[in-house]
Structure 1
Amino acid sequence: MERTAREVLEATTGGLAPHPGANRLLPLVARGAARRETLAALALEQRLVIAADRRAFHRMAERAAAEEPAAEPFFTLLAEGEELAGERLGTFAEACGVDEARAAAYEPLPGCQAYPAYVAWLALNGAPADVVLALSANFSAWGGYCAIIAQALRRHYGHSDEACAFFDFFAGPAPEPERRAREAVQAALDAGRVNEALAHRHGRLLQAYETMFWTTLWELDRDSA
């Protein structure tokens, strides 16, 4: 029996779920033990990630419009979401003591920027429907991280709702991206253009780079103690 897009998305997300201990920084933030300088670095790194991902998603939308039109709305929505997230990130950065001068002088950490580098690679090389599957799996883990961080920032670091809005944005339900993902994957399934093995490979690498992002910040926190 042919599988539906919902089934394929659920199987991919479940198969790529990270190990509960993969994010080594998260427990520190959750109990308020992460250094405030580490949170500032998180804001600065995310500033670069958001800008890079927004451009990559625009590029992916352009490719999808020509190659797999049903996937174009998904990537366009992601690009718009990065724009909104970027607006919210500024308040978090300010709460961490980051101003424009500090942001301009900041030297990015390679381990944190490997993730957006691979997203950019996917924007140039990945088949749109396979990338939809890989990204959807990664976003599930990312949303869970954001929910924990938003709660911890309020409880342990005294951040306002405005300062937590960036994480709240990703932590909340995402029915529209999920709907567009299903439509993109279903159209590709109907046309026989989904390569689940390749999508899983993309997703596995995304998760590995996601883990590298958090491990790099955890090492920074440990080395600064």
Structure 2
Amino acid sequence: MSENLFADELIRQACDDVSARSGGNRFVELLEAGELPRERLAWLAGEEFRIVRSDQRSFALLASRFPDGSAGGLFLGLAQGEARASALLLEFAAALGWDGKKLRGYAPLPFAQVYPAYLAWCALYGTRSAVAVAMAANLDEWGGYCGRIADALTSRYRLSEEAVGFFRFFATPPPGFMEQAEAAVEEGLEAGEDPVEALRAAQALHVYETAFWDALVTGLD
């Protein structure tokens, strides 16, 4: 791979690579068929309860590490988005009969939490371009799943639009996100950050995203 890629080319390459590696998502497929036990929806709420809070802190740390230029605005905006998502998640949990006490008492599945653990590592040690590229590729994949989940929850499980607001929120990227991500990547590349490392981060985040969904269908025939 050439080390002289422009930011938009690097992001496109990462998105294409993640798309090529993506297989089916059994959790979403069972949900769309109306065959996913409601207990697993509660698992989803419990896992996300921890993930969004962890990711909010990770993005806030990234914003403090890279406060200048587009990177600071990108990471601060993502942190604020996670705060908004946290409130929306409570609506989803409430529709399942779960309150804050139940969410806090839920025991997370280790393999469902490798994604936020890796993002936390990136927040400490990663480059701005690696995180921006990885998030651009991941939001494309995650957003597609969220749109399908919201549709299935309203059509198959009769949840209200208010209850699926968490998934609608993530179904499309924040306004201006891609432009900010490209600018942050460009800043990183100009500062000498390694584009190969950025692609590796996107690939790793995809693997951990897959592990999350696989954990949620553990034990189902």
Please report how far the alpha carbon of residue 183 of structure 1 lies from its aligned counterpart in structure 2 after TM superposition.
1.3
Q: Is 2:170 aligned against 1:170? A: yes
Aligned partner letter, 1:207? H
Q: Which residue of 2 aligns with 1:110?
A: 110
Cα distance between partner residues in 2 of 1:173 and 1:167: 12
Count the aligned residue pairs. 219
Q: Which residue of 1 aligns with 2:94?
A: 94
Change beyond 3 A, Cα 1:100–1:174 = closer
Task: Point out where structure 1 has 5 or more consecutive residues left out of the alignment.
Answer: none
* Contact kept? 1:16, 1:204, Cα under 8 Å: yes
Q: Deviations over 1:116-149 (max 9, x none)?
A: 0000000001011111111111111000000100
The aligned runs of 1:166-205 (5 Å cut-off) are: 166-189=166-189, 191-205=190-204
Please report how far the alpha carbon of residue 19 of structure 1 lies from its aligned counterpart in structure 2 after TM superposition.
4.1
Please report how far the alpha carbon of residue 13 of structure 1 lies from its aligned counterpart in structure 2 after TM superposition.
1.1
Aligned partner letter, 2:36? A
Aligned partner letter, 2:159? H
The aligned runs of 1:209-224 (5 Å cut-off) are: 209-220=208-219, 222=220
Aligned partner letter, 1:39? L
Q: Which residue of 2 aligns with 1:56?
A: 58
The aligned runs of 1:128-143 (5 Å cut-off) are: 128-143=128-143
Instruction: Indicate the RMSD between aligned Cα atoms, in angstroms.
Output: 1.7
Cα distance between partner residues in 2 of 1:36 and 1:193: 48
Q: Is 2:46 aligned against 1:47? A: no
* Contact kept? 2:90, 2:99, Cα under 8 Å: no
Q: Which residue of 2 aligns with 1:206?
A: 205
TM-score by length of structure 1 reads 0.91
Cα distance between partner residues in 2 of 1:88 and 1:75: 20
Q: Deviations over 1:29-59 (max 9, x none)?
A: 1111111000011011001000000000000
Aligned partner letter, 2:145? Y
* Contact kept? 2:91, 2:162, Cα under 8 Å: yes
* Contact kept? 1:16, 1:200, Cα under 8 Å: no
Aligned partner letter, 2:210? T
Cα distance between partner residues in 2 of 1:142 and 1:18: 15
Q: Which moved more, 1:160-169 or 1:96-105?
A: 96-105
Q: Which residue of 1 aligns with 2:145?
A: 145
Q: Which residue of 1 aligns with 2:35?
A: 33
What percent identity do the matched residue pairs reach?
38
Please report how far the alpha carbon of residue 97 of structure 1 lies from its aligned counterpart in structure 2 after TM superposition.
1.7
Q: Which moved more, 1:170-179 or 1:83-92?
A: 170-179
TM-score by length of structure 2 reads 0.93
* Contact kept? 1:130, 1:198, Cα under 8 Å: yes
Cα distance between partner residues in 2 of 1:105 and 1:173: 31
